[in-house]
Amino acid sequence: MRCKRFGDASAFLHECEPFLTVHDPETNLILSNAYRLDDNPPSPDRPAYMAFVEDEKGISLAAIMGHRLPLSVYARAEVEGDALTLLVKDLLEWQTALSIGQPHSDSHDAHSGRFTKVVAPQQVAGAFADTWKAQTGVTLMQGMHMRLYQLRSVDHPGRTPGHLRLASESDTLLIARWYLEFDKEATNEQLSVADAERIAETKIGNRETFIWEDGGEAVTMVAKTRPTKQGIVLNAVYTPPVHRRRGYATGCVAAVSQRLLDEGYAFCSLFTDLTNPTSNSIYMKIGYKPMRDYYEYEFPLGGSGRS
């Protein structure tokens, strides 16, 4: 068994993409990050981690962390603890090497490769947290409990008042405000106004944000993100409280999903927060089927390395 680390996304994809593609959308976070890093390679001021562990059966585990993104880990169901130990040890070696290479960087600086979160299937996430503690003495804090859903055909709901359209430049301030509200509601955190405006401008410019409009008023948004060769993810599903319980989110998600399937994607997928039973119910009504539960674990601030 060995852990192999990569500094180049194309080399990582050359060896790991067949394994990841077979398990898409469970591996979407890793695949999409690898594609981004292939287009925008890591650099000393934008470090990235890419690695896999292989045994006699082939690749059993893969992990990636793009600049300022959570560490994403995926493993075969039968992955052994030794594989996670190899991964954690390699992560710590990588982090140490970055610190040596940037002697004046603060431990919280982007140069340091500091880990903020790990996202992985439920059993893998728990085993990773146990392994991290065994190797470092640091206890990770359990965060969001999510469920991954996949859709291959839409079960169309009854008629929803209104229609779908792409968000346009004139919607930027509205979408930015909705991102601020969505982030606060979904994560109990707060984007800055500047970050929300930047996200809105980028998503609208890339034609990735959709609006459901009723009677000339925008009432719901949905975004698409992280395309792979087979599928694509929906996220940022948000309806302001004043417009809720009218079926707008259901109609919008169904229409966007159908549009993406018509464009040639084999499936759509999305993650839900399991503390929100309403959203989980909405998605299942239009054909999204649960695949696997995921957990986030958060690294204590300043406590991502050895204790």
Q: CA–CA separation, 99 vs 171, rounded Å?
A: 43
Q: What confidence tens digit (pLDDT) does each residue in 152-211 have? A: 999 988 889 999 999 999 999 999 999 999 988 877 667 889 999 999 999 999 999 999
Q: What confidence tens digit (pLDDT) does each residue in 91-140 have? A: 999 998 887 655 444 444 444 578 899 999 999 999 999 999 999 999 99
Residue ranges with strand state E in 197-288 = 209-214, 217-225, 231-238, 267-273
Cis peptide before 121 (omega within 30 of 0): no
Q: CA–CA separation, 194 vs 188, rounded Å?
A: 18
Q: What confidence tens digit (pLDDT) does each residue in 47-105 have? A: 999 999 998 889 999 999 998 899 999 998 777 779 999 999 999 999 988 876 554 44
Alpha helices by DSSP H, listed for 78-164, are 81-101, 122-136
Q: Could you tell me the domains of the chain?
A: 2-145+294-298 (3.40.630), 154-286 (3.40.630.30)
The DSSP symbol for 163 reads: E
